[in-house]
Structure 1
Amino acid sequence: MLTFVRCCLLPAIKLYLLGLWVLLGQLFSKTFRLPEMPRQEGKVAIVTGGSRGIGFEVALHLAGLGAHVIIGGRDEQEGLSAVAKIREEHREAKVEFITLDLGSMQSVRHFVQCFKERNLPLNILVNNAGIMLVPEGRTEDGFELHFGVNYLGHFLLTWLLLDHLKQSGMLDCFSRVVHVSSSAHRIGEIKLNDLNSEYYSAHAAYCQSKLAQLLFSAHLQKALRAGAFTASSFAVDPGMVHTALYRHIWAPLRLALGVVAQLLFWTPKEGAATVLYAALSPALDGERAGGYWANGRRQMTSPPTSDLRLQRSLWETSARMLGLQ
């Protein structure tokens, strides 16, 4: 019983209390408004999960600035519908959809192959797609769902596209990798040797995947800076945003979600603002590159994200899990 409370009940309580704290912060803070960004003609961007929610708003704005946008997502019909909506708003938009299932490493590799066949540069990679509090399950490759979809799928995608990002960056305009994470990383714990725990907690698994994203982003930024590459890695907390992400929350809270979301959650467009700022702002090249951003400002993260040994251990373990050299 004590093990169940510690492994399952406590993470849920922590996450919902954190959510309440975040909502109170959003209630009493001014929402960040994206300043005017430079045109992006000739630039190419990939947005995972770009068919709806925050991802759609990011893809829409990038297309409006003239970037060639590639949306990656599981649902082809939803993806093509998103492409049509973007073209309705921006008639000259260069936007397309390629199927991408982050829960399948084969699908990730196929997506990258399709992209490389187009012989395009890659200036912006927005790792936005994700799941939250889904029932216990495994990906096609046997990984816990949150860890596999939110983190490992994006790890492999970024790894396979990294050379394109390095080659496409310029001294006056770095290529960017933007990982859409969450304040939930603050209560996450990395347990790479215990992904199949007897007491599964969707709440703990979600927080672990978000902490993993931040560790990956920080380690990638260090590697890019050490190699003097004109590319940088950012992590962004978009805040609590009114999207379908919350459909698996605890049932009693789900009943009140509609009202609370309308009053206190940010809109997808508001949630996308800091993601776009990290992806586009000329002010974030050089010494200001990288870091963890929320509501338009660089923020402190939880102590584990600064643990260099943990960053390296997660990176090496992830590469082994995916069979990468």
Structure 2
Amino acid sequence: MWLLSLLPLVRLYLCGVKVLLYQLFNRSLTLPVLPKQNGRVAIVTGGTRGMGFETARHLASLGMHVVIAGNEKEEGTAAVKRIREEGGKGKAEFMFLDLTSLKSVRQFVQTFKARGLPLHVLVNNAGTMLVPETQTQDGFEFHFGLNYLGHFLLTNLLLDVLKKSGRHGCCSRVVTVSSATHYGGVMDMDDLNSKRCYNSLGAYSQSKLALVLFTYYLQEQLTASGFPVTANAVDPGMVDTALYDNLWSLAQALKKPVVKLLFRTPAEGASISIYAAAASEMEGVGGCYLYNGKKKQSSDISYDSELQAELWKKSCQLVGLQVA
């Protein structure tokens, strides 16, 4: 049994080494000149700090009305103040959202819809990593519940607004932040809560694989119905954010000298989300896995259409949505 628990660790550490070697020899994405986004509305989850804040900040600088969705009110207020002080033409505001609670997700959507605002960009950015075995308020494994299921429900409940807000030639966009760890992810449909053999890295990689599977299936449904909405998954690389705060002490010590040399800054990590959300080159383009400004092949299992459909159906059941 202990050997089985080591396999995901080995796969993920090898994946991490590969990413760091790439980042050692390749510069991060330099954003092209992006078109103004005046009049467009975006929601960025986890937008109070790190990559989420940098994403919200940049979209607001382009003229967007950005709703920062997060579960820390003080951080949210501070983030909005910083963006406003920069004097961009856009608008920033904070709305409370706890992705570990399906009730909170529903309340957030209800409040947002009551305002009658359009929605042109949804950035599913919030996430957690390496959390000790614990559960969300609804009893789901924490990584799976926060990183994936919360965003799955949020996206589905906002789809009608995204569809109404987009038009052909100017589509609405769903941007979902995954990770290279998805390459080592295993999707056990009979054990999505990782109860058989819990491993925080394995649980994290499963949640990131789920986000890619979800993105591809969502795009397939949107395309089949002809809706002016695109969905893409993005990979920011290894970025120096609070995600690594849960590393054990020795790993923290070993990480410090590596960070400045090899890790991306939050602004650099956010560039791929910003690109997917606003670049002219991405107009009407969906169903992609984007890394460092390029379309990249995701894991083989992520293209399994039967697994995509099965996960979608199971996810609908878990969050209480009617299966389409």
Aligned to 2:204: 206
> Alignment partner for residue 108 of structure 2, among 97, 111, 120?
111
Structure 2 counterpart of 1:73, one-letter code: G
Structure 2 counterpart of 1:119, one-letter code: G
The answer to whether residue 12 in structure 2 is matched with residue 15 in structure 1 is yes
Identify if the C-alpha distance between structure 1 residues 196 and 20 changes in structure 2 by more than 3 Å, giving closer, same or farther. closer
> Alignment partner for residue 238 of structure 1, among 236, 239, 255?
236
Residues in 1 aligned to 2:36 and 2:125: alpha-carbon distance in whole angstroms: 22
Residues in 2 aligned to 1:90 and 1:19: alpha-carbon distance in whole angstroms: 38
Q: Deviation at 1:117?
A: 1.3
Instruction: Figure out how many residues of one structure are paired with residues of the other and give that number.
Output: 321
> Alignment partner for residue 320 of structure 1, among 293, 317, 320?
317
> Alignment partner for residue 172 of structure 1, among 169, 182, 186?
169
Residues in 2 aligned to 1:146 and 1:211: alpha-carbon distance in whole angstroms: 12
SS of match in other structure, 1:139? coil
Detail structure 1 runs of 4+ shifted over 3 Å in the superposition: none
Identify if the C-alpha distance between structure 1 residues 91 and 231 changes in structure 2 by more than 3 Å, giving closer, same or farther. closer
Aligned to 2:213: 215
Aligned to 2:256: 258
Aligned to 2:27: 30
SS of match in other structure, 2:175? strand
Aligned to 1:80: 77
Which segment is superposed worse, 181-190 or 28-37? 28-37
Aligned to 1:66: 63
The answer to whether residue 273 in structure 2 is matched with residue 275 in structure 1 is yes
TM-score (norm: length of structure 2):
0.97
Aligned to 2:286: 289
Aligned to 2:146: 149
Q: Deviation at 1:10?
A: 2.2
Residues in 2 aligned to 1:240 and 1:181: alpha-carbon distance in whole angstroms: 11
Q: Is the 8 A contact 1:242 1:261 kept in 2?
A: yes
Residues in 2 aligned to 1:136 and 1:210: alpha-carbon distance in whole angstroms: 17
Residues in 2 aligned to 1:94 and 1:28: alpha-carbon distance in whole angstroms: 37
SS of match in other structure, 2:162? helix
Aligned to 2:43: 46
Residues in 2 aligned to 1:144 and 1:4: alpha-carbon distance in whole angstroms: 20
SS of match in other structure, 1:138? coil
Residues in 2 aligned to 1:5 and 1:80: alpha-carbon distance in whole angstroms: 46
Structure 2 counterpart of 1:108, one-letter code: V
Q: Deviation at 1:72?
A: 0.5
> Where do 5+ consecutive residues of structure 1 fail to align?
none
Residues in 2 aligned to 1:170 and 1:197: alpha-carbon distance in whole angstroms: 44
SS of match in other structure, 2:128? coil
Residues in 1 aligned to 2:112 and 2:14: alpha-carbon distance in whole angstroms: 41
Q: Deviation at 1:172?
A: 1.5
Question: Matched residues, percent identical?
Answer: 52
Structure 2 counterpart of 1:213, one-letter code: L
Q: Deviation at 1:91?
A: 5.3
Q: Is the 8 A contact 1:63 1:90 kept in 2?
A: no
Q: Deviation at 1:92?
A: 4.6
> Where do 5+ consecutive residues of structure 2 fail to align?
none
Q: Is the 8 A contact 2:63 2:88 kept in 1?
A: no
SS of match in other structure, 1:236? strand
The answer to whether residue 95 in structure 2 is matched with residue 98 in structure 1 is yes
